[in-house]
Amino acid sequence: MRRWLPIVLLLLLPLGVQAAVEVLDFKTPEAEASYNKLIKELRCLVCQNQDLADSNADLAKDLRHKTYLMINEGKSEQEILEYMVDRYGEFVLYRPRLELTTVLLWFGPFLLLVLGVFLVLRTIRRRRGAATATALSDEERVRMERLLAADGDEKNS
Amino acid sequence: MNRFLIPLVIFVVLVVFLAVGLNRDPKLVPSPLIDKPAPEFSLPRLHHPEQRIGKQDMLGKVWILNVWASWCVSCRAEHQVVKRLAATGAVEIVGLDYKDQRADALRWLETLGNPYTATAVDGKGDVGIDFGVYGVPESFLIDKQGVIRYKQIGPLTDQAVAEKVLPLVKKLQAEG
């Protein structure tokens, strides 16, 4: 018995360790889905490159809690996003809204793609044009043959 | 000639954009609350918990809401600036003690001095969220109509006070 006691105690040790997972009660599975979606859409302002779901900063915890409360109050996702933007600005949104000031942000890459395709096509066309350049005139052909012949002679000698 | 000019222009534009981008502080998130009415709040006071202080109490005055906490290291340095600003008598300063322990906050003010007209206790940080506070310290300059006119993100400095806060205070005091 003596021998087993330390082992039993050691086996009990993990019971004291708990992972810090936030356990939240939602009224409906949809509400939970909204919550999980929102905390991935919202930026933690302290750490900036993490969303609320990822961050352990105090402010992120508070904002997660606020999101949770608002969802349980029956607020829509749109209302919650609105609430956050009113207080923290557009920067809280990971996906910027489509507005006049963000048009370039949204469509800039496509613009660059189109520009790139255009440039590539133009270059290809130009090169092809160069390759199928005008055929040699009779005079040029004669000169070419003479040059090639001279070249051949040099190698042979 | 033209062949080199276009890439050169693109390169220069890119360098300018990157240089400007690099020199901007990404921690400074512009507040959407500038020129908007300050959020309503009413909180217990630190020294007189039975009394409350809120936006309504300050209407008709130009005032500063200075968000601080005893656990905030840069608030300690900022506090000297806040004291100097309060000493000028130009503007009333209300403290917002953000997510703090009462005893710690009281001791902090006792040690460092208390420049505040009143200190509101925001234990859970709810009012902080309403004001879009994302780091302490932050300060809001609010006009007589209760509209936020300026926000200092991070500690107030003597330079910011002299160049931005005091001139704006003077202007706002002159307004109706």
CATH of the domain at B73: 3.40.30.10
| Confidence bin at B131 (pLDDT 50/70/90) | very high
Which pLDDT value is given to residue A131? 65
Note the pLDDT tens digit of each residue in B78-104.
999 999 999 999 999 999 999 999 999
Which pLDDT value is given to residue A56? 86
Backbone angles phi, psi at B42, to 5 degrees: -150, 115
What total of structural domains would you count in chain B? 1
Two structure tokens written together for A44? 């933690």
Q: What is the mean pLDDT of residues B23-34?
A: 82
- Residue ranges of the domains in chain A? 19-97, 101-156
| Confidence bin at B21 (pLDDT 50/70/90) | confident
**Which residues of chain A are within 8 Å of residue B33 when distances are taken between CB atoms?**
87
Q: What is the mean pLDDT of residues B12-38?
A: 88
Asked if the model's pLDDT at residue A102 lies above 90, the reply is no
Q: CA dist A66 to A80, A84, B21, B98, Å?
A: 9, 10, 32, 16
Q: What is the mean pLDDT of residues A84-93?
A: 90
Q: What is the mean pLDDT of residues B16-40?
A: 87
Domain range for B121 is: 33-174
The interface predicted TM-score (ipTM) is 0.77
3-state helix, strand, coil in chain A (%, to 5): 70, 5, 30
CA-wise closest residue to B153 among B22, B37, B24, B58: B24
Mean pLDDT of chain A: 84
**What's the order of all strands across the beta sheet hosting B148-153?**
B118-122, B92-98, B63-68, B138-142, B148-153
A19-97 is a CATH 3.40.50.2300 domain? no
Asked if the model's pLDDT at residue B41 lies above 90, the reply is yes
Fill in the DSSP letter of residue A135: P
Which pLDDT value is given to residue B100? 94
Mean pLDDT of chain B: 92
CB contact under 8 A, A87 and B30: no
Could you tell me the pTM of the whole model? 0.74
Cβ pairs bridging A and B (under 8 Å): 38
Q: What is the mean pLDDT of residues B29-55?
A: 92
d(CA B149, CA B134): 18
| Confidence bin at A154 (pLDDT 50/70/90) | low
Q: Evaluate the omega torsion of the peptide bond into residue B137 and state whether it is cis, within 30 degrees of 0.
A: yes
DSSP string, B64-114: EEEEE-TT-HHHHHHHHHHHHHHHTTSSEEEEEEES--HHHHHHHHHHH--
Residue B172 falls in which region: left (phi positive, over 0), alpha (psi -120 to 50) or beta: alpha
Residue B21 falls in which region: left (phi positive, over 0), alpha (psi -120 to 50) or beta: alpha
**Which residues of chain B are within 8 Å of residue A90 when distances are taken between CB atoms?**
32
3-state SS, residue A43: strand
| Confidence bin at B26 (pLDDT 50/70/90) | confident
d(CA B151, CA B38): 11
Which pLDDT value is given to residue B13? 95
Q: CA dist A73 to A23, A28, B166, Å?
A: 18, 12, 43
Q: B64 or A133: which carries more pLDDT confidence?
A: B64
Q: B44 or A17: which carries more pLDDT confidence?
A: B44
CA-wise closest residue to A92 among A146, A143, A129, A55: A55
| Confidence bin at A82 (pLDDT 50/70/90) | very high
3-state helix, strand, coil in chain B (%, to 5): 40, 20, 35
Two structure tokens written together for B122? 């925001």
Which pLDDT value is given to residue B173? 92
CB contact under 8 A, A45 and B134: yes
Residue B49 belongs to some domain of the structure: yes
Residue B12 belongs to some domain of the structure: no
Closest partner residue to A88 (CB to CB) among B27, B125, B134 is: B134
B39 to chain A, minimum CA–CA distance in Å? Answer: 10
Residue B157 belongs to some domain of the structure: yes
Residue ranges of E strands in A42-153: none
Residue B129 belongs to some domain of the structure: yes
CB contact under 8 A, B125 and A62: yes
CB contact under 8 A, B99 and A90: no
3-state SS, residue B2: helix
**A50: CB partners within 8 A, 6+ apart:** A43, A44, A60
How many residues does the structure list for chain B? 176
pLDDT more than 70, % of chain B = 99
Residue B114 belongs to some domain of the structure: yes
Which pLDDT value is given to residue A155? 58
Which residues on neighbouring strands pair with residue B44, listed in sequence order? B52
Asked if the model's pLDDT at residue A19 lies above 60, the reply is no
Q: Is B165 exposed, middle or buried (0-12, 13-18, 19+ CB in 10 A)?
A: buried
